[in-house]
Structure 1
Amino acid sequence: MSALDDLNDGPADRAVQALRSCNAAPRFAAAVVAGRPYPDVDALVARADEVARGLPWAEVELALAGHPRIGERAEGSSPEAEASRREQHAVGGADDATRAALAEGNRAYEEHFDRVFLVRASGRSPVEILAELRRRLGNDEETERAEVTAQLAEITALRVRGLVS
């Protein structure tokens, strides 16, 4: 039996628990589980992306609580912490100057927006992440909320694909 079959056919509470490791927003997992069964992984990932992009801001903020700062190691052994460490792996190889710039950028972002900077780190170099952080510091609140939601959806889709692949 495949991981997708397990998600489709298993108890709803177990599927919700598995999906919460991909996105901690309370509505996310319930909405994705409500769409079962999914014919294939791509359909599941598409639904997860759609749900994540449609979350109200209050739910996005709850999901952000589970994400560490870029460049900081996620603590614990939860599936979400393990995913974060994998996704930020490249940042660990950054040179000292880039690490210092990321730390300073994180501080500036948090002062400006009063939340952690969220970016899909997977597939990006530390320099690309730093450039994205600096670019987004120029956003207004509405624009940044849209970018945060989009980044959360990208991260969620990657994690859901990993969950069932």
Structure 2
Amino acid sequence: MPGPPPPAPRRAGGLVGFNAASRAEAVALLLSCCHSLRWAERVAAHRPYPTVDALLAAADEAGYDLSRADLDGALAAESSLPPHPGAPPAARTALRAAHAAYESSFGHAFVISLDGVRPGERLDQVLAGIRSRLGNEPEEERVIAAEELRRLARARLALRLAEGLTTRHPEA
């Protein structure tokens, strides 16, 4: 009597899996990092990448080439993260108010890359970032938000590659 069927082969994760993925799979993964179809298609089109660093550099370059409309769309698709549930009530209230003020002023969610910031310092970093950027002129803030979005997309992509292609998380 035959035994159970062998397990289905798993697709390789990381860079190997990304390079081997179908175009649609690669674009879907990239869209989970930055919500710009132009950006995702451009990065996917240049596969295979020889190294993760080469992929991340290509993602950065594609981010610099986003049109105003592409950037607006990518920023509009971002959402403000809810305050950390373990934060004191006053901190949660201040953060919600700051996010609302930012979104009212600039028309999109506040984006900031927290890559390299320790978890215990993230709430303070976000609140300080929103407060300091609220005084920016719209065009100045657009440049800063675009840079933060590129950094955020880079961190998300590096995380997705480290986790494997089938793992998806809403935020990096």
Q: Which has the larger radius of gyration?
A: 2
Q: TM-score, normalised by structure 1?
A: 0.81
Match of 2:130 in 1: 133
Match of 2:98 in 1: 105
Contact 1:25/1:62 (<8 A) preserved: yes
**What are structure 2's unaligned runs of at least 5 residues?**
1-11, 163-172
User: Structure 2: how far apart are the matches of 1:17 and 1:107?
Assistant: 30
The structure that is helix-richer by fraction is 1
Contact 1:28/1:55 (<8 A) preserved: yes
Cα root mean square deviation, aligned: 1.7
Give the AA of the match of 2:159. Answer: G
Give the AA of the match of 2:16. Answer: D
Contact 1:45/1:157 (<8 A) preserved: yes
CA deviation vs aligned residue, 1:47-93 (integer Å, no higher than 9, x gap): 11221232122112212233221335xxxxxxxxxxxxxxxxxx343
Q: Percent same amino acid among aligned pairs? A: 35
User: Structure 1: how far apart are the matches of 2:100 and 2:35?
Assistant: 24
Contact 2:78/2:108 (<8 A) preserved: no
User: Structure 1: how far apart are the matches of 2:27 and 2:47?
Assistant: 11
Quick one: which of 24, 48, 53 aligns to 1:13?
A: 24
Q: TM-score, normalised by structure 2?
A: 0.78
Match of 2:82 in 1: 71
Match of 1:30 in 2: 41
User: Structure 2: how far apart are the matches of 1:57 and 1:94?
Assistant: 36
**What are structure 1's unaligned runs of at least 5 residues?**
73-90
CA deviation vs aligned residue, 1:77-113 (integer Å, no higher than 9, x gap): xxxxxxxxxxxxxx34322111111111112112211
